[in-house]
A and B are shown apart, each in its own frame.
Chain A
Amino acid sequence: MNNVEWFDFISEVTDDIITRHTLGGLFLQVSRKAITSFGYPLEEIISQSPYSFIHEDDIAVVKNNHTFLINERKSEWVKYRLKCKNGDYLSLQSYGKLIHSTLDPLGYEIILYTKILDDDDFEKNIGDVFQMTRMSGDDETLSQKYKSQKKRADKSFHHHTLPIPYNTEEEIRILYRAINSSTNGITVADCRQPDMPLMYVNPAFEVMTGYAIEEVVGKNCRFLQGKDTDQPSLEILRRAMLMAEPVVVILRNYKKDGTLFWNKLELAPVRDSEGVLTHYIGIASDISSEVISRNQISELNLMLAETNDQLRIERDREREYAKSLEKINELKDDFVSSVSHEFRTPLASIIGFAQTLLKDNTISEQLREKFLHIIFNDGKRLARIVEDMLDIARIESGKSTLFKETHDIVAIVKDAMSAFTYDKEKNTNPLIFKTNSSIIALECDRDKIIQVLLNLLTNAQKFSPPDEEIIITLAEEEEIVHIKIKDNGIGIHTDDIHHVFEKFYRVKHPGQEIRGTGLGLPIAKNLIELHGGTISVVSTIGHGSEFIVTLPKRVHE
Chain B
Amino acid sequence: MSKSILLVEDEESMQVLLDYVLKSNGFVVSLAQNGRDALDLLQTTVFDLLCTDIMLPEVNGIEVCAYARKNYPHLPIIVISSKSQEKEIETALNEGANDYITKPFDVDYLLKIIKKYL
> Are A356 and B13 in contact, with the CB atoms below 8 A?
no
**Interface: A353 (CB within 8 A):** yes
**Interface: B117 (CB within 8 A):** no
Q: Which residues of B contact A349 (CB under 8 A)?
A: 11, 13-14, 17
> Are B63 and A513 in contact, with the CB atoms below 8 A?
no
The answer for the CA separation of A338 and B3 in the assembled complex, in Å, is: 35
**Interface: A511 (CB within 8 A):** yes
**Interface: A419 (CB within 8 A):** no
Q: Which residues of B contact A371 (CB under 8 A)?
A: 16, 20
Quick check: which of B44-52, B67-75, B99-107 contacts chain A, the rest being far away? B99-107
> Are B60 and A356 in contact, with the CB atoms below 8 A?
no
Of B13, B14, B103, B108, most A-chain CB atoms within 10 Å: B13
Contact with A along B84-113 (1 / 0, CB 8 A): 110000000000000000111111100000
Quick check: which of A123-131, A183-191, A250-258, A339-347 contacts chain B, the rest being far away? A339-347
> Are A351 and B16 in contact, with the CB atoms below 8 A?
no
* Known contacts A356-B107, A512-B57; A345/B20 CB under 8 A: no
> Are B20 and A348 in contact, with the CB atoms below 8 A?
no
Chain A: minimal CB distance from B3 (Å): 20
> Are A377 and B84 in contact, with the CB atoms below 8 A?
no
The answer for the CA separation of A420 and B58 in the assembled complex, in Å, is: 24
The answer for the CA separation of A321 and B42 in the assembled complex, in Å, is: 51
> Are B82 and A348 in contact, with the CB atoms below 8 A?
yes
In chain A, residues 329-383, which have Cβ atoms closer than 8 Å to a Cβ of chain B?
A: 337, 340-341, 344-353, 355-356, 359-360, 362, 367, 370-371, 374, 377-378
> Are B14 and A348 in contact, with the CB atoms below 8 A?
yes
Number of interface residues of B (CB under 8 A): 26
Interface of A is mostly: helix
Name which residue of chain B comes closest to A342, CB basis. B82
> Are A356 and B12 in contact, with the CB atoms below 8 A?
no
The answer for the CA separation of A367 and B24 in the assembled complex, in Å, is: 13
Q: Which residues of A contact B14 (CB under 8 A)?
A: 345, 348-349, 352
Q: Which residues of B contact A345 (CB under 8 A)?
A: 11, 14, 82, 103
**Interface: B41 (CB within 8 A):** no
**Interface: B55 (CB within 8 A):** yes
> Are B82 and A341 in contact, with the CB atoms below 8 A?
yes
The answer for the CA separation of A542 and B87 in the assembled complex, in Å, is: 30
> Are B59 and A344 in contact, with the CB atoms below 8 A?
no
The answer for the CA separation of A359 and B104 in the assembled complex, in Å, is: 17
> Are A512 and B60 in contact, with the CB atoms below 8 A?
yes
| Contact among A348, A426, A511 for B104, CB-based, below 8 A | A348
Q: Which residues of A contact B59 (CB under 8 A)?
A: 511
* Known contacts A347-B104, A348-B14, A378-B13; A356/B55 CB under 8 A: no
The answer for the CA separation of A367 and B84 in the assembled complex, in Å, is: 31
The answer for the CA separation of A29 and B77 in the assembled complex, in Å, is: 61
The answer for the CA separation of A267 and B14 in the assembled complex, in Å, is: 66
Chain B: minimal CB distance from A150 (Å): 47
**Interface: A515 (CB within 8 A):** yes
> Are B58 and A352 in contact, with the CB atoms below 8 A?
no
> Are A356 and B17 in contact, with the CB atoms below 8 A?
yes
Q: Which residues of B contact A515 (CB under 8 A)?
A: 55
The answer for the CA separation of A341 and B12 in the assembled complex, in Å, is: 16
Q: Number of contact residues on A: which range applies?
A: 20 to 34
| Contact among A356, A370, A511 for B63, CB-based, below 8 A | A511
> Are B103 and A347 in contact, with the CB atoms below 8 A?
yes
| Contact among A348, A360, A362 for B103, CB-based, below 8 A | A348
Q: Which residues of A contact B13 (CB under 8 A)?
A: 346, 349, 353, 374, 377-378
Name which residue of chain A comes closest to B63, CB basis. A511
In chain A, residues 464-519, which have Cβ atoms closer than 8 Å to a Cβ of chain B?
A: 511-513, 515
Q: Which residues of A contact B16 (CB under 8 A)?
A: 370-371, 374
> Are B103 and A353 in contact, with the CB atoms below 8 A?
no
Chain B: minimal CB distance from A116 (Å): 57
The answer for the CA separation of A345 and B11 in the assembled complex, in Å, is: 8
Q: Which residues of A contact B21 (CB under 8 A)?
A: 352, 356
Chain B: minimal CB distance from A100 (Å): 48
The answer for the CA separation of A426 and B13 in the assembled complex, in Å, is: 12
Chain A: minimal CB distance from B55 (Å): 5
Q: Which residues of B contact A344 (CB under 8 A)?
A: 82, 84, 102-104
| Contact among B17, B57, B60, B83 for A353, CB-based, below 8 A | B17
Chain A: minimal CB distance from B9 (Å): 10
In chain B, residues 1-32, which have Cβ atoms closer than 8 Å to a Cβ of chain A?
A: 11-14, 16-17, 20-21, 24
| Contact among B17, B24, B82, B84 for A352, CB-based, below 8 A | B17
The answer for the CA separation of A340 and B82 in the assembled complex, in Å, is: 8
Of A345, A353, A362, A371, most B-chain CB atoms within 10 Å: A345
Extra inter-chain contacts (10) besides given A347-B103, A355-B106, A367-B20, CB under 8 Å: A344-B84, A346-B13, A348-B14, A348-B103, A350-B104, A351-B105, A352-B105, A355-B107, A374-B16, A512-B57
The 4 A-B pairs at the shortest CB distance, nearest first, are namely: A344-B82, A348-B103, A348-B104, A349-B13
List 7 A–B pairs whose Cβ atoms lie within 8 Å, in order of A's numbering. A344-B84, A344-B104, A345-B11, A345-B14, A360-B24, A371-B20, A511-B63
